[in-house]
Amino acid sequence: MIGSLAFPRAIVRTLPAALVLAGCSAEPPRDSAPEVEVRTLRVAPSPVAPTDELPGRVVAFRTAEIRPQVGGMLTRRSFEQGAAVRAGQLLFQINPAPFRADADSARATVEKAATAYTRARTQADRLKPLVDTDAISRQSYDDAVAAWKQAAAELAEARAALRRRQVDLGFARIVAPISGRIGAANLTEGALVTAADTAPLATIQQIDRVYVDVRQPAERYAALREAGGTAGPVEIVTASGAVHPVKGRILFSGIAVDPGTGDALVRVEVANPGERLLPGMFVRARLPRPGMSAALTVPQQAVTRADDGTAQLAVVDTQDRVHVRRVQLGPIVDGRYVVLAGLRAGEVVIVEGQDRVQPDTPVKQIPWQSGAAR
């Protein structure tokens, strides 16, 4: 009976070891973890043309303040407020009667001076042969010549006064000095104006072409100028986000740098069909930067941020496992980040699905396509 119980006890002693071995052999292998589907992109170098999108303000191509050059009473306004006017078009009429009377008086003075000049010249011509024959004294002839020259000077003075009165008469008609769109009239018929008035009668702005004044860091513009890119096209984006249909061109950069901000003024000239851009409007200008012939770019959604704010990418290795890589980003070009450091050409990054994986997780790659249906 005792012998018959020995065998079962031996079996009992060997069971724990057997169970431990069985448990070890039952542990799932590392490669048996479920794969997570992600959309990936293999990065490759490509040329890019980065831009700086900076705020700017629209300025009229030309501005003219309409002011009177003579004093008088306004008798007529000959334009519609807010309408387009052309150069030379009559805008205001000042009562011309006083200036016409002054011009008539000056014209009469000219005729009087002309008569005196003719008489003095005739007298000098008559005395000239007499002085040659000693019929009159040299003094008498010299006096006649002096009177002739004085009459000539008085005639010239009278003619100049007439021209001045005619100019004043012309100033009674206030015309547009430039073509453009005229604003509100500050005075109406019956108002008394003078040449010393501080407020303009109206303002004309030419806006078929406009300027966009942008402030850009001085070192950025210097780098662009050295690269020969200051003549590149400039896109203008309105406050609503719409892109202006015509691209502008950089005219110049200011010669002075703001000591408080370190920015320099950049003026962009742009055609303005349909007068979509109005003076004083705030817009955004995409100024060109030196191009990159072989840059690595990734879609914006591929970039995540670490706890300290550092940019990072989820990179898939040749074993289809995920590694988080910190990278240095450059500008955004066409919705894609330029990666300056931390990524090599030919590597695969996760564009969508990186929030569902952890480092060293196996993944199943699906090619990512921009704008494709999901």
Can you list the domains of the chain with their CATH numbers? 36-48+293-367 (2.40.420.20), 52-61+207-291 (2.40.30.170), 70-182 (1.10.287.470)
Residues 183-208 have pLDDT tens digits of 999 999 999 999 999 999 999 999 99
Quote the mean pLDDT of the chain: 86
Best CA proximity match to 217, nearest among 262, 268, 266: 262
Q: Of the ranges 7-16, 209-218, 256-265, 293-302, which one carries the lowest mean pLDDT score?
A: 7-16
Q: Per-residue DSSP letters for 295-323?
A: EEEEEGGG-EE-TTS-EEEEEE-TTSBEE
DSSP assignment of 118-146, as one string? HHHHHHHHHHHHHHHTTSS-HHHHHHHHH
The residue among 70 and 141 whose pLDDT is bigger is 70
pLDDT at 101: 97
The torsion defined by the Cα of 287, 288, 294 and 299, in degrees rounded to 10, comes to 20
d(CA 211, CA 279): 9
* Among 194, 202, 204, 205, CA closest to 68: 194
The conformation of residue 284, written as its DSSP 8-state character, comes to E
Of 10-19, 99-108, 143-152, 295-304, which range is least confident? 10-19
User: Which pLDDT band holds residue 371 (cuts at 50, 70, 90)?
Assistant: low
Place of tokens 């500008």: 331
- Rounded Cα distance between 10 and 285, Å, is 88
Residue 223 — pLDDT band, cuts 50, 70, 90?
low
Q: Which residue has the higher pLDDT, 311 or 222?
A: 311
- Dihedral of CA atoms 138, 141, 147, 150 in degrees, nearest 10, equals -70
Report in angstroms the alpha-carbon separations of 166 from 70, 157, 161, 193, 268.
12, 14, 9, 19, 43
Structure tokens at 90: 């009559």
| Predicted local distance difference test score (pLDDT) of residue 22 | 45
The pLDDT assigned to 1 comes to: 41
Taking only the tens place, the pLDDT of each residue in 143-166 is 999 999 999 999 999 999 999 999
pLDDT band at residue 374, thresholds of 50, 70 and 90?
very low
What mean pLDDT do residues 95-118 have?
96
Q: Do 282 and 57 form a contact (C-beta atoms < 8 A)? A: yes
Rounded CA-CA distance 342/329 in Å is 9
- Percentage above 70 pLDDT, the chain: 86
Whether residue 29 has pLDDT greater than 60: no
How many helices (H) does the chain have, and how many strands (E)? Answer: 4, 22
Q: So what's the pLDDT on residue 231?
A: 57
**pLDDT score, position 372:** 53
pLDDT score of 338 more than 80: yes
